[in-house]
Amino acid sequence: MAEIRLLRHATLLVDVGETTLLVDPMLSAPGDIPPIPNSPNDRENPLVPMPDVGLEYDAVLVTHRHRDHFDDAAADRLAADDPILCQPAEAEAFRGDGFEDVRPVEEALDYAGVDITRTPARHGHGELAEQMGPVSGFVLEGEKRLYLAGDTVWYDAVPETLDRHDPDAVVVNAGAAQFVEGEPITMDADDVRRVREYVDDGVPVVADHMEAINHCLLTREELLAAVDGVEIPEDGETVAV
């Protein structure tokens, strides 16, 4: 049994067996984060509040340190001794924030019975993807195997990861996040459709990363209309695997 609870944007509580991971905590109150620069609008972030749920977890998993995945509020609110699981390039930044138990995932590690494997991700297309810096996805394996794709578009590493790990569920960061110039830097509806068509019908594809940050332009309603068979939870909603 595994459960994926969307709190807001890409912030999840993921239960794998007896272990709960808090993923990509963005804990700021609405309007506390300035608009993403060079975006099609100037709305202040986050656009919506966190649902009223308790944050009970065993460790924190961060795909990358962009402010919509790890913000100042998270740095202030999380305990110094919380285990932080992250990509190696950002381990020192977490230690600089005062976290005492930082565990970079070079390739894979075991945390409390959950096998955690870091997977490739590409945060956009072409030169813009390089400018966005390193990002990662993760596969979590316990009683079930979950693929958290992270901030990536559809490219060759995504189907390769699906083939290699054969997950029981896939979480994709949708929203078609975009700047004024260039292509989306997270999955748009076409990318989500490619994931949905690539995996077996019985494998849930869960889309998050929508309607909370000003440059995420694809809405839940638009994605639901464009792609059949994708699960799009509301904030606070849980998807069971």
DSSP the chain: -EEEEEEETTEEEEEETTEEEEES---PPTT-BPPPTT-S----B-SSPPPS-----SEEE-S--STTTS-HHHHHHS-TTSEEEE-GGGHHHHHHTT-SEEEE-SSEEEETTEEEEEEE---SSHHHHHHT---EEEEEESSSEEEE--S--S-THHHHHHHHH--SEEEEE-S----SSSS-SS--HHHHHHHHHHS-TTS-EEEES-SSSTT----HHHHHHH-TT-B-PPTT-EEE-
* Residue 18 pLDDT: 95
- 214: Cβ contacts below 8 Å, ≥ 6 apart: 35, 36, 39, 41, 42, 43, 44, 45, 47
**pLDDT average, residue stretch 15-30:** 98
pTM of the model: 0.98
pLDDT band per the 50, 70, 90 thresholds, residue 13: very high
- What pLDDT, in 10s, does the model give residues 130-157? 899 999 999 999 999 999 999 999 999 9
Domains and CATH numbers, the chain: 2-240 (3.60.15.10)
Which residues have CB under 8 Å from 96's CB, separation 6+? none
Query: CA–CA separation, 159 vs 157, rounded Å?
Result: 6
Q: What is the pLDDT of residue 97?
A: 98
Q: Name the residue among 220, 159, 153, 209 with its Cα closest to residue 182.
A: 153
Q: Write the CA distances from 17 to 38, 68, 101, 214, 240, integer angstroms.
A: 42, 27, 22, 35, 12
Stretch 51-76: mean pLDDT? 97
Q: Residues 77-85: what's their mean pLDDT?
A: 98
Distance CA 137, CA 108 (A): 12
Residue 29 clears pLDDT 90, i.e. is over it: yes
Q: What is the mean pLDDT of residues 2-10?
A: 98
pLDDT at residue number 153: 98
Summarize the confidence of residues 182-203 as an average pLDDT: 97
Residues 6+ apart with CB under 8 A from 160: none
- Over 90: is that where the pLDDT of 117 sits? yes
pLDDT value of residue 174: 98
Q: CA–CA separation, 8 vs 200, rounded Å?
A: 27
Residue 1: pLDDT band (50, 70, 90) is: confident
- Is residue 184 pLDDT above 90, yes or no? yes
